[in-house]
Amino acid sequence: MKVYFLYHKGEYGPYSLTKDDIDDKPYSDYLSVQSINAESYTDKELHHEFFYVNNHPLSNVFGLGSIFVTVIMNDEKVVGAFSVKNGMTYSLLEEEE
């Protein structure tokens, strides 16, 4: 399956998380669907890049068009990503926590 990038929607950050932050919303929503331990994100300078994409697995689930995807970055390195549809947070490729 090919996922098509539609457009860059903006960015957020920089910010950093403490161990106390990782259990609070909204951080807990997107950290819970990452493949690495949430504490791996603490004490790092993070920022988000926002995109709309087509042909995402969630597009088929909901029968809707573009999906909002957030890429989590530390410096210039991608350290995580998640997708959001209808107020629910999913891993990048659809698995819900």
Is the confidence at residue 88, as pLDDT, over 60? Answer: yes
CA 49 to chain centroid, in Å, comes to 9
Q: Where are the domains of the chain?
A: 4-91
Which strands make up the sheet holding 46-54, listed edge to edge?
A: 4-15, 46-54, 67-74, 77-85, 88-91
Q: pTM of the full predicted structure?
A: 0.76
How do residues 2-57 score in pLDDT, each as one tens digit?
Answer: 655 565 777 888 999 999 999 999 889 999 999 888 898 998 999 999 988 777 66
pLDDT band for 97, please (50, 70, 90 cuts).
very low
Question: pLDDT tens digits for 71-84?
Answer: 999 998 999 999 87
Those residues with Cβ within 8 angstroms of residue 8's Cβ, 6 or more apart along the chain or in another chain: 49, 50, 51
25: which residues sit within 8 A by CB, 6+ positions away? none
pLDDT of amino acid 48: 93
Count other C-beta atoms under 10 Å from residue 65's C-beta: 12
